[in-house]
Structure 1
Amino acid sequence: MTRLGEEMWRARVRGCLLGGAIGDALGGPVEFEDGRSIVAKYPDGVREFLPGGPGWPAGTITDDTQMTLFTVEGLIRASVRTDRGLGFTVAVVQHAYDRWLDTQTLTGPSGERDGWLQGEQWLYVRRAPGNTCLTALEQARQGGSKIPQFGAQAVNASKGCGGVMRVAPFGLLPRQFPAEWVFDSAADAAGYTHGHPTGKLASGTLAAIIRELCNGASLEEAITQATNLLTQHEGHEETSTALNFARHLAATAPAGPVTVERLGGGWVAEEALAIAVYAALAYPAPEQFLDAIALAVTHSGDSDSTGAICGNILGALHGETALPAELVFAVEGRAAILQLADDFALEFTQGRRLHGDYGPHTAWTARYPGW
């Protein structure tokens, strides 16, 4: 990767993670509200952070961003783990989700976990986490031993959007990770909590879109290439049909909440991906980022997840400089998000300078233990 290419990639990593958090925070307060009611109050869509009630100030992220951050941390730790001569193991990400579960069941860090992210007190709060995620991760803990065995797929038939809303970081991995591996690994990571094939395949598709964008593809090209990967998998029909309909509406229908509602509510994986893709296609230019995110969250459905996914896509497409300054400034957890983004970039470009040949007990491996 050239220096210019690395700088652009780092901007896309930051843009993807911050953009997702912004979309999440915009949509969270209106998640359970009827679309007509949202439009009545906000005719131009939700374009600024709103409070979500007591203990939920404007700019607050939800479980979508929380789990995305733990995905990033898990990928970094999976890379550190390769120092042992082992391959890059996706199950390390499930271990990260197990630490996220602590943030939903404890009031603060227990002192029994390692790594820095689980020590962030601001993450220890519930923002309407999905029951499927909670139940599946709790069941994984009860696998018959005191130490959970990571890597097993969830045994349920859920295709809720709780898998797809957190897997964008797989697409941020650099070019040496092949497209097929990125797709399959993101699908597996979603499958730790969501067992239905559609929940997995929609997740793999999002990661593939992000990967192509990070490698310089246009939005249309990225969606086409990801769809080509998707259709090679058995059971792709729900996701590919939803994506094709989103592309059709973006090309033929007025950009607005009425059109968004035709794609569903976003509660299930293929609908959430389709809504996010539609909004991004409707407003694809860098200066239209806020138009796209506002459209993605203004509907009768899972507004925080559709906003987060749309923000991931457009942040990866345009980089961090396209994000509205007033929202970047105010989004919860910005410092931690950017720190993770930069650490992710460091690990996957200069990891050998941080660990490995420099010894197994460095400050970096204390920050990101390899398991």
Structure 2
Amino acid sequence: MVSADAATGVLLGLACGDALGRPVEFSSPEQITEQYSTLTDMVGHGTHGQPAGTVTDDTDLALCIARSLAEQAAFDGQDIADRFAAWYDDGPFDVGLMTADAISEYQTGTSWRDAGREVWQRRAQGSNAGNGSIMRCAPHAIAFADGPDKLERVSKQSSAITHHDSRCQYGCVLLNHTIAGYLNGTDDPLTDAIARVEDDAPDELVETVRLVPNLVDEGQLQNTGYVVHTLQTSLYDALTADTAEEAIVASVNRGGDTDTLGAVTGALVGARFGAEALPDRWLDTLEYREELALLSKALATTEIDA
């Protein structure tokens, strides 16, 4: 039985990391240090010029998925794509290039199953495997925590709506298996997750993640938007920290793609430590706090078809 506190921690942790990182997105570690010493509190303004506690596309798109799963009581790729399109039409202040292109492709009439692939095929190697699907995929880990085969299938299908590359699809699988492992109380969820995918997932992804946490030099961790970098860095911070706050703060203060590093790390430590471990001073200003908590509980307690 999935812990309600841990399930709630996943979505609240994701949103906390996203909101903490939002005002310093694209900043270097040195710029963050110069302005804040260490950024530990929700602040306003900064990148995107939003109030403290405001989330970005990371949480917005995770909410699209969570709402769809809860309302449809099933994984419905077209419904998720429709929600992505409606969100995009509202003019969000932050949206990744590949996500925007894939949604636009879907809006021209391309199937949700094909839109991401069409965009991926047009993209040059090196710009076609961003972290835009791992940042939002955690709701699936809650909904399908007790069904690893279903979880793998929907994680790949959901990623491919915008991010077709196998590194992105299996990045979501690895992340979601790890989160589900924490939700189910397993001793070493990352090792279990790697074992599930190592025969099929891209070698670069598997071997990079396999270094976490003891075989990688922290100084070599990277803060880019490349899915392999984000997954390795967030897993490292989530697995080596003693508290949820420590992990999220470490990820955000690395600079670069701070909102997504914070979001992925936050989902992991939310599952690992539970919602009760997230600081009240963050939650007090967090956008969508109540809805995220309600959706988490719904996903954890409702039988959802895949």
Flag whether TM exceeds 0.5 (same fold).
yes
Share of identical aligned residues, percent?
25
Query: What's the offset of the Cα at 1:241?
Result: 2.3
1:366 corresponds to: none
- Equivalent of 1:227, from 194, 198, 204? 194
Query: What's the offset of the Cα at 1:52?
Result: 3.0
Comparing 161-170 with 240-249, which one deviates more in the overlay?
A: 240-249
Question: What count of residue pairs does the alignment treat as equivalent?
Answer: 296
Distance 1:29 1:102 in 2: 25
2:133 corresponds to: 163
Distance 2:45 2:233 in 1: 22
Distance 1:175 1:13 in 2: 10
Distance 1:13 1:272 in 2: 22
- Equivalent of 2:114, from 135, 148, 152? 152
- Equivalent of 1:270, from 208, 221, 228? 228
In structure 2, the CA distance between the partners of 1:238 and 1:139, relative to structure 1 (3 Å rule), is same
- Equivalent of 1:324, from 255, 258, 279? 279
1:119 corresponds to: none
In structure 2, the CA distance between the partners of 1:67 and 1:175, relative to structure 1 (3 Å rule), is closer
User: Taking structure 2 as the reference length, what is the TM-score of the superposition?
Assistant: 0.89
Distance 1:213 1:199 in 2: 21
In structure 2, the CA distance between the partners of 1:266 and 1:181, relative to structure 1 (3 Å rule), is farther
Distance 1:238 1:19 in 2: 28
> 2:135 is paired with a residue of what secondary structure?
helix
Distance 2:233 2:214 in 1: 12
Distance 1:93 1:61 in 2: 24
Query: What's the offset of the Cα at 1:77?
Result: 3.7
In structure 2, the CA distance between the partners of 1:243 and 1:189, relative to structure 1 (3 Å rule), is same
Distance 2:169 2:22 in 1: 23
The residue correspondences of 1:287-326 to structure 2 (distance < 5 A) are 288-326=243-281
Spell out, residue by residue over 1:111-153, the C-alpha distance to the aligned partner (whole angstroms, 9 max, x if none).
xxxxxxxxxxxxxx62321111111012112126xxxx44336
User: Taking structure 1 as the reference length, what is the TM-score of the superposition?
Assistant: 0.74
Q: Is the 1:242–1:263 contact (alpha carbons within 8 Å) kept by the matching residues of 2?
A: no
In structure 2, the CA distance between the partners of 1:175 and 1:306, relative to structure 1 (3 Å rule), is closer
Q: Does 1:68 align with 2:62?
A: yes
The residue correspondences of 1:119-268 to structure 2 (distance < 5 A) are 126-143=92-109, 149-152=111-114, 154-155=116-117, 156=120, 157=123, 158-177=128-147, 179-218=148-187, 221-234=188-201, 236-248=202-214, 253=217, 259=218, 262-268=220-226
Q: Is the 1:180–1:229 contact (alpha carbons within 8 Å) kept by the matching residues of 2?
A: no
Query: What's the offset of the Cα at 1:78?
Result: 4.0
Query: What's the offset of the Cα at 1:174?
Result: 4.7
Q: Is the 1:266–1:305 contact (alpha carbons within 8 Å) kept by the matching residues of 2?
A: no
Which one-letter code corresponds to 2:168 in the other structure? G
1:82 corresponds to: none
Unpaired segments ≥5 residues, structure 2: none
Q: What is the aligned-residue RMSD (CA, Å)?
A: 2.2
Which one-letter code corresponds to 1:185 in the other structure? V
- Equivalent of 1:52, from 45, 52, 68? 45
In structure 2, the CA distance between the partners of 1:316 and 1:38, relative to structure 1 (3 Å rule), is same
Distance 1:67 1:73 in 2: 10
Distance 1:174 1:136 in 2: 25
Distance 2:149 2:200 in 1: 11
State the structure with more CA Rg. 1
